[in-house]
């Protein structure tokens, strides 16, 4: 298998920019991205990223900041209804899978093993094979149903990484907040990166 292969699932929660930035960053870092996008994601993307008419047939370069060469060689896209795609089986090998952002519907489906599309089936396989699965839920506030489903995911071995960026790296704008979440996802997948956002313990502050 490719040593640098990751599955990325985008679902229809707010914060589609987290998912697009994660794909862009993985590509920049030289990873092979296997991408599954839910139908609702396209609607949310249109609403909040100002990308008109985006659909599964839209070329990747029109909604991701990657080159045509990167799109051709590093990103493979799948039809979410293609339940016979390679990652619908536990025999598919990859460093990990990240669902970013994860809607409460997709969280519920993964938490309950309700694998009715390729994204949720693939996540099911990563859990059963005890391979790294990172889920980035986005909703607020959370109901007890959401909380129970997230707990079930954590108990099953997933990393639950809420889309709750920290502010201690002094973000200058939305991109810095998005990058913070992308960095946390890369770290949970054990992927080396060059983001420098770690808390420095107050280094360099004048003593007071
Ligand atoms: C603009 C917009 C924003 C949404 N934001 C969220 C959200 O933050 N969290 C969430 O769980 N669902 C959100 N939804 C609802 C989901 O898209 C919806 O539940 C959908 O069925 C999820 O399907 P999927 O998980 O297969 O993508 C949003 C929908 C729209 C249109």
pLDDT surpassing 50 at residue 1: no
pLDDT of residue 199: 77
Tell me the three state secondary structure of residue 67. coil
Q: Tell whether 50 is covered by a domain.
A: yes
Mean of the per-residue pLDDT values of the chain: 94
Distance 40 CA to ligand 1 centre (A): 7
Cβ-proximal residues to 132 (8 Å cutoff; 6+ apart), any chain = 95, 96, 97, 126, 159, 188, 189, 190
Report the predicted TM-score, pTM, of the whole model to 2 decimal places. 0.95
Q: 53 is in which domain, residue-wise?
A: 5-188
| CATH code, domain carrying 178 | 3.40.50.1950
Among the residue ranges 72-81, 177-186, 196-205, the one predicted with the least confidence is: 196-205
pLDDT of residue 40: 97
- Neighbour-count burial of 172, counting CB atoms closer than 10 A to its CB (0-12 exposed, 13-18 middle, 19+ buried): exposed
Distance 103 CA to ligand 1 centre (A): 5
* Protein residue with least CA distance to atom 3, ligand 1: 14
Report d(CA 178, CA 93) in Å as an integer: 28
pLDDT of residue 203: 64
Q: Tell whether 208 is covered by a domain.
A: no
Q: Tell whether 199 is covered by a domain.
A: no
Cβ-proximal residues to 65 (8 Å cutoff; 6+ apart), any chain = 20, 24
Type and span of the H or E element at 134: strand 133-137
Report d(CA 50, CA 64) in Å as an integer: 13
Question: Residues 32-88: pLDDT tens digits?
Answer: 999 999 999 999 999 998 888 888 999 999 999 999 999 999 999 999 999 999 999
Q: Tell whether 198 is covered by a domain.
A: no
Q: Where is pLDDT greater, at 184 or 55?
A: 184
Mutation to probe ligand 1, out of 9, 15, 40, 106 (largest number of atoms < 8 A from CB): 40
Q: Tell whether 177 is covered by a domain.
A: yes
Tell me the three state secondary structure of residue 1. coil
pLDDT of residue 53: 85
The C-alpha angle 90, 93, 95, rounded to 5 degrees, equals 120
**Ligand 1 atom index nearest CA of 104:** 11
Answer whether 8's CB lies under 8 Å from 34's CB.
yes
Ligand 1 pocket check for 103: Cβ under 6 Å: yes
Distance 152 CA to ligand 1 centre (A): 20
Type and span of the H or E element at 6: strand 5-10
Report d(CA 167, CA 144) in Å as an integer: 27
Indicate the pLDDT class of residue 205, thresholds 50, 70 and 90.
Answer: low
Answer whether 40's CB lies under 8 Å from 11's CB.
yes
Question: Residues 114-137: pLDDT tens digits?
Answer: 999 999 999 999 999 999 999 999
pLDDT surpassing 60 at residue 104: yes
Indicate the pLDDT class of residue 188, thresholds 50, 70 and 90.
Answer: very high
Distance 11 CA to ligand 1 centre (A): 7
Domain count, the chain: 1
pLDDT of residue 27: 98
Q: Tell whether 205 is covered by a domain.
A: no
Q: Tell whether 132 is covered by a domain.
A: yes
Q: Tell whether 206 is covered by a domain.
A: no
Report d(CA 193, CA 207) in Å as an integer: 32
Ligand 1 pocket check for 66: Cβ under 6 Å: no
Mutation to probe ligand 1, out of 11, 13, 140 (largest number of atoms < 8 A from CB): 13
């Amino acid at each position: 298998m490719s040593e640098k292969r990751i599955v990325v699932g985008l679902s229809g929660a707010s914060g589609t920019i987290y998912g697009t930035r994660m794909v862009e960053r993985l590509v920049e870092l030289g990873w092979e991205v296997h991408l599954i996008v839910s139908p609702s994601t396209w609607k949310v993307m249109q609403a909040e990223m100002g990308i008109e008419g985006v659909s599964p047939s839209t070329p990747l370069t029109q909604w991701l900041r990657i080159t045509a060469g990167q799109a051709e060689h590093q990103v493979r896209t799948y039809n979410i209804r293609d339940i016979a795609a390679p990652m619908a089986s536990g025999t598919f090998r990859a460093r990990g899978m990240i669902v970013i952002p994860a809607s409460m519907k997709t969280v519920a489906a993964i938490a309950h093993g309700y694998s009715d599309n390729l994204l949720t089936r693939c996540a099911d396989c990563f859990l059963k094979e005890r391979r790294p699965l990172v889920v980035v839920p986005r909703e607020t506030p959370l109901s007890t149903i959401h909380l129970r489903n997230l707990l079930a995911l954590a108990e099953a071995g997933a990393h639950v990484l809420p889309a709750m960026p920290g502010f201690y790296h002094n973000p200058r704008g939305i991109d810095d907040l998005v990058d913070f979440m992308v960095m946390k996802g890369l770290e949970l997948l054990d992927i080396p990166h060059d983001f420098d956002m770690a808390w420095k313990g107050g280094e360099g502050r004048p003593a007071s």
